[in-house]
Structure 1
Amino acid sequence: MGLIFFAIGCFGVSQTNAEDISPEVEKLLIVKPKTYLKIDKALKPHRRDTSFLKAFIQKAITDDYSEGQMYALNQMGTTFRNFSEFRKAIKLHQDALKLSEELNNKEFIVLSLNMLGVVYRRTDAVKTALDYNQRALELAESVENPSEHIKRHINISLNCIGLLYQTLGQYDLAISQFERALKSEAKLDNKLGLAINNQNIGKCYEQKEELEIALDFYRKSLALNDEINNNYGRLICKNSIAQIYLKQNMPNAALVLLQTLKEPAVKNGDKSLTSSILINTGWAQMEVGILPEAEKNIVNGRKMAIESSVPSLVMYANKHLSDLEIKKGNLKAALDYFKNAEEIDEEITNERNLRYINDLILRYESEKKNSQISVLAQENELVRLRLRKNQTTILVSTLIIGLIGTILFIMYRQYQSNYEKRVLGLEQHMLRSQMNPHFLFNSLNSIKLYIINNDKKNAVHYLNKFSKLVRRILEGSSLKETLLSEELETVELYLNIENIRFSNEIEYVIEIEDDINVDQVKIPSLVLQPFLENAIWHGLSGKEGKKNLWITVKKKDDIHLQISIVDNGVGRKVSEEIKENRILKRKSVGIDITKERLANFAKDYQYDFNIDIIDLFEDNGKSRGTKIILEIPMV
């Protein structure tokens, strides 16, 4: 008992006298219930208050109440763990385990083993964590007529083992553990357990690069955390969702979400979670070009990961710092960070460590499936005897087929990777060209004038249109194709917003042939906006008098859809002269990007696309505008 008292005294919690224990808790010390749930019912309001728990342990030692001591030690350990004080947490859980083993109290033995497994997993000590969690599961499953607390800890063990399988890259095996725990948590109606397991399944799918499935599970977990008002769970889910956005090349969406998480994460006190949020924030800022802030956040996140002894997060930060240095042109620094990340990765997953862990996995699984393994061994022996007869032929054939298959697979993956990178690059450039700061700033300024002039009706009207347009552009940027009806709605929203800045001087008409079903025809998403922008800002903006724009959609034939955009502007020649006289010149890349996107779109069809830009002239040679004709394949 003296060791326990000394350990608590060294942890730096504030002093609270045993006399401060409330009458309600005094009753608990008199009745001395033996089960976890009865103790938890009385002490639940205080279980994260280390000052209270310390005072309670002093009183429990005096009153010889061992179950109370074990409960309080484990609760203090959990609190220190959540503040990333892992050494203190381990000492408290070990003291609780020693005491519970002396009393042979299986409930508290299972609890202490599982909590030790959680702490060691958080510090990437995988083999030690797996050992503790498997011991907890084996003991919990051996209990006849288990209590509700034991049932919950079977699920905790499954969850922890699943997380360790996940660390080993055994994602399908991990998912099976989480799904088993998920079913059991549903029977217990434990929404916190449901939230945790949905989050963990999402993480596995994220690591398998199945990002949409991962996002669905993260959102399920977030909804459950919202339902039980679990702020800590919300932070974890939102950080995971932001990480998916980053992997889907949506850094702006990720940054908006991450910027709301830093302050509550710091208040929560979990340094490893705060570290992850800081690193992800830096990643998002790096992708949108805010390099100084990105470096600051990643470096701070790395520092916190080092202080918390979480090498996987240190490695994660180093990889992003390597990418950042590449963007800054510091190739030597980038290489140093990359090498450091690789060294940490090798330390975490060295061969001896993995072999030991795999041995533990096989040992555990063999205890569950002895009969199945025996049958499989017999079948394998029969197969081995048959194969031995034609061993040379099979070996040579397998090697040749494997070599050819490997070469073809590498060539295919290289081609696919290059193609995907090119498409992603085009989509990012497209989004930047359509969501350029100049357009956003001027649009909001125009709406601001309505507000200043107290024209509430128009302000609300155009603000609604502007928000719909931004949403359409963000949604469309992740789609390869969209319905013609949706594209025309986006076009109309864009023209409405742009027209505000011309005091509604632009008159536009959209004509669609009767035999075209706009709800069935598909075209590349957001393909018309760059041409309309050129027509407005290079054709109509410099024109005096009436400004007209005609958009016509018709079938050229059974193969191609023809979309023409005609303006009565100043023409390309005059527009170029105006551009040359401007002090600030901005190269327009929207049409070039659109041509590349159309080329990629046409690859899935039998026929090619075509774009014609025609200058229109009066009989006297004076320009009367420009006509753009897009021919997009439909088959």
Structure 2
Amino acid sequence: MSIKGVCFLCLLLLGACLAAIAQDSLRVYRLLDSIHQLPADTGKVSLLLNKGRANSRFFESRKGENLFWQEALTIAQQIRYPKGISLIYNEIGTSKRNKSLYIIAEDFHEKALKAAEEAKDTLLIAFSLNNAGVDCRRQDKLQKAFDYHVKALTLAESINDVRNICVATNSIGNIQLTTEKYDDAINHFSRALELEEKSNNELGVAINLGNLGYAYQGQNKLDLAIQYYKRSLVMNQKMDRAIGMAICYNALGAAYKEKKDYPAAMEYLQKALEVNDKVEDKVHVAESYLSIGKLLGAEGRHAEAREYIQQSIDISTFWGFKSMLMDAYKALAADFKTSGDFEKSLEATDKSLLYKDSILDEKSAMALAQMQTIYEVDRKDNHIRNLEHDKMVVALRTKRNVVVTFFLAAFLLMAIVGGFFYIRHRNLQANKQTLQLELRSLRSQMNPHFIFNSLSSIHRYIWSNNQEEASDYLTKFSRLMRLILDNTQHTFVTLNKELESLRLYLDLESLRCNGIFEYRFFIDADINDDEVLIPPMILQPYVENAIWHGLVHKHPDEKGILDIEIVLNKRSLVCTITDNGIGRKKAMEIKEKKGRLHNSVGMKVTEGRIDLIRKINNKEARVTITDLEDESGKATGTRVSIVLPAEFIF
């Protein structure tokens, strides 16, 4: 065929592809339009949920959100349908996990769990717990994953739900396998295998047979491990499951290599290489080439080994498999070192480390992006809830006005007398509602303010420290974010929760400031921190101000001290924050020299919150700032005293 003919054929194929894409898009949006006409009820939510599942590949191929699930979630929230909300959050979370967005997936599955608990649906609670456990296991948060799966297992057993029992049991076994508790892992995999066999779930049987092989190999019972790998291979061959066969062939190759039966190991690794041609994800092909290269190196056939390792590198470079490239260059370095070529070994090691650094950078960037996404989703959900609240208020006011009109018509004289008191009461209530809404608005401002400051801190920390410490810092920050986002949804939280978030924040700031200060808490013995309530994030801005305007400017030889004291004085909660910093006057001079004269946003918002608390409760609430000086008049620090009305759970 001529070049013109080939070009013409390519154009025809491209046109056909574009036409197919356009046709799919038209079909999906027409379906959405038709569903829009249906009334907003649980049936519509279920229909959108099912259509979202059926068209999930369409939205994934376009890297966009599933519009069916987004509309279903909006309707479920509007009609207060917690079971539907949980089902939708579970679907969205699983789709995020399939894209390796594990932090976002965990957030959605935790929301699904809360909605399932609100619906009091035991089956759905167990399902959500298992999903959240898998998310945590993918992030190596093994203890949290274990707790989720144990709770799921207990609930699933209480209702005899075999599917969730199998998932929880298998997951617990995988966690124990990771932590090298091989006996416990074998017990759980054996139980899961028995259940899957009774359920005639061939895939579940194949997976648990393979897992038992890994556990026995961990115990160095290689012959027993090989038996289970071969049984798993038979099941995968029966299902014609290419990826399962590739996994089994690789496992058998590794086991025979460990037995030093190199011919058998090579036979199975070659079979893995052949079957990998049928697997869409080419990372398995690269892995097979690398395994064969390592095997040849163990046999002393270094020239052939490097050829296979190089093929793994070529495939991984083409497809961008950075983790595989890191392992391949590491294996290449080891092979060169064994051959005595130390210069090339060092060169390969440098490349392996470069890819390791690149992977770490990508993980940090992805974690930050996922935290930002979670914040945006939470903000959107809060906006929807506020709109629903406003809608309900309008409906109640309308109903109330109708009642008032009726009584005015029926009892005119009584309405004149009673109306005066009613209008006065209504104005007071409206004023109180306005103050409460304004307080809620100020409280919600603390989230973006605090997150902005913390993200800025992380950005500076990453550039000033090595990547591993930055990763640890980011992990602690994500824990603090979860606590802050949970606390600030409420008008009041228990004192122990507020102190927990404050301690975590101080730990992060101390870490970032290289330990230039230490902090101490003094809690009145008469205070039960599980019963005393406090507005969330009320102390943090003053603590932050004490650190960044007082303590960080002290002489390096002088240790900064930050004391936080909380006492109960009759019906008032008195919180005192004392630092031995440079004082407000000198801090202002430093700011003027640097040209930074803006006021603290956190301080202004918090002062506004305290003022509104005083107006709403008609009780004492104030902030007093005192400059501390020694006998010669030299500044020795600052004391901030915050007086709040004492609130209790009971």
Whether TM exceeds 0.5 here: the answer is no
Q: Scaled by the length of structure 2, what TM-score is found?
A: 0.40
